[in-house]
């Protein structure tokens, strides 16, 4: 890797090809596209790329830029992390669920649920500590 490219990699601007599994990304694009009932034409139009380019990505003939993969992920309704196969943290998994639960609550309901959740968390930690002390 040349020095300039190494600098871009060090600052998170570029990933070496050995880290990115392009065939896997291509398979993921095709699988998600098919699950959504999209043709290559529909995906290409939604992501502002050509149909042959989508075909090349799906077959790993070409490697998509981060910008292109971002547009494709958006067109498929997923995050770039999901498209690249990067596991999400537990926080990223549960935060949307918590947001969904709270979105139609009044301010009073949200405050109550927050207080109840905090109390349950404290009880769970106390019981865990007591269990650890007894074993």
| pLDDT tier for residue 8 given thresholds of 50, 70 and 90 | very low
Q: Residue 1: pLDDT above 50? A: no
Q: If you average pLDDT over every residue of the chain, what do you get? A: 85
DSSP state string for 63-92:
---HHHHHHHHHHHTS-HHHHHTPPPPHHH
CB 69 within 8 A of CB 84: yes
According to CATH, the superfamily of the domain at 3-84 is: lambda repressor-like DNA-binding domains (1.10.260.40)
pLDDT at 6 over 50: no
pTM of the full structure: 0.56
Rounded mean pLDDT of 16-41? 88
Mean pLDDT of 113-133: 91
Domain boundaries along the sequence of the chain? 3-84, 90-134
């Amino acid at each position: 890797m040349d020095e300039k490219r190494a600098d871009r990699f060090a600052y998170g601007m570029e990933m070496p090809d050995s880290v990115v599994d392009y065939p896997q990304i291509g398979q993921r694009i095709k699988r998600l596209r098919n699950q959504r009932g999209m043709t290559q034409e529909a995906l290409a139009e939604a992501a502002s790329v050509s149909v042959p380019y989508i075909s090349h990505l799906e077959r790993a003939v070409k490697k998509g830029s981060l910008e292109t993969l971002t547009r494709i992920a958006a067109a498929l309704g997923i995050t770039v992390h999901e498209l690249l196969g990067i596991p999400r943290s537990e926080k990223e998994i549960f935060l949307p669920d918590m947001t969904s639960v709270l979105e139609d609550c009044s301010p009073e309901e949200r405050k109550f649920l927050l207080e109840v959740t905090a109390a349950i968390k404290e009880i769970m930690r106390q019981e865990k500590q007591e269990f650890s002390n007894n074993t």
